[in-house]
Amino acid sequence: MSRLQGFISQLFTATDKLEASSDESLLGRYRTGDSAAFEILYARHRHGLYRFLLGLSGQAELADEVFQDTWLSLIRSGSQPQGRATFRTWLFQIARNRLIDHWRRHGSRQPLHERYDEQLHALSDDASDPEQLLSLSRDSLRLDSALQTLPADQREVFLLRAHGDLDLAQIASLTDTPLETVKSRLRYAQQKLRRLLAEEVLT
């Protein structure tokens, strides 16, 4: 093997190892000046984070703005996830806080702080996995339309599960909500979306 081939082989091996690293390890490497580590983090999470913000805000322009603010906050900050928080949970927490900040700055209605009787939204059909519900929709516009019919707190839990890939305990911690409440919100959201998307398939 030539020296050039050996160098290329080492380069690919190093890249493969970097891509196999945990989010937390990549963040640590980025904090020490490894820009390639940030590129991998961004590639891993950009789609899910943007879909979460778009679904929660219902506005593409606002989702774009908060998405950029979230990554800029991460870049400018020297902080790390605290305690048992994962990088993903921490990233989505930053995004959620930035969106709430935007609503406050602009005097907008803050749907995440609204209260409602969750029992009113209970349906009798069985819950489906978020990924199955996402695949039921013919296109993203119809799914987005269905999502906007949900109360904001239910929509947020569904989006964090579907696009953030967070477990229920992580969602409870991120939203500062009791675990049983998170479970019920996800269940009601899944039930309503399942009914709406099933009706869409039949029409």
The residue among 28 and 5 whose pLDDT is bigger is: 28
Q: What is the DSSP letter of 203?
A: -
The residue among 60 and 201 whose pLDDT is bigger is: 60
Q: How many other CB atoms are found less than 10 A from the CB of residue 148?
A: 12
Please tell me the predicted confidence (pLDDT) of residue 70: 95
CB–CB of 172/182 below 8 Å? yes
| Tokens standing for residue 187 | 């269940």
* Confidence band for 108, pLDDT divided at 50, 70 and 90: low
Please tell me the predicted confidence (pLDDT) of residue 19: 80
DSSP output for 102-154: HHHHTT---GGG----GGGG--SSPP--HHHHHHHSSSHHHHHHHHTTS-HHH
Mean pLDDT of 131-138: 53
Number of helical (H) and strand (E) elements in the chain, helices listed first = 10, 0
Please tell me the predicted confidence (pLDDT) of residue 104: 86
Q: Report the distance separating Cα 154 and Cα 178, nearest Å.
A: 13
Q: Report the distance separating Cα 108 and Cα 157, nearest Å.
A: 21
115 has a pLDDT exceeding 50? no
Find, among 163, 155, 158, 68, the residue nearest to 111 by Cα: 155
| Tokens standing for residue 154 | 């239910």
Tell me: the pLDDT tens digits for 145-173?
888 889 999 999 999 998 888 999 999 99
The amino acid present at 173, given as its one-letter code, is: S
The residue among 65 and 113 whose pLDDT is bigger is: 65
What rounded mean pLDDT belongs to the chain? 79
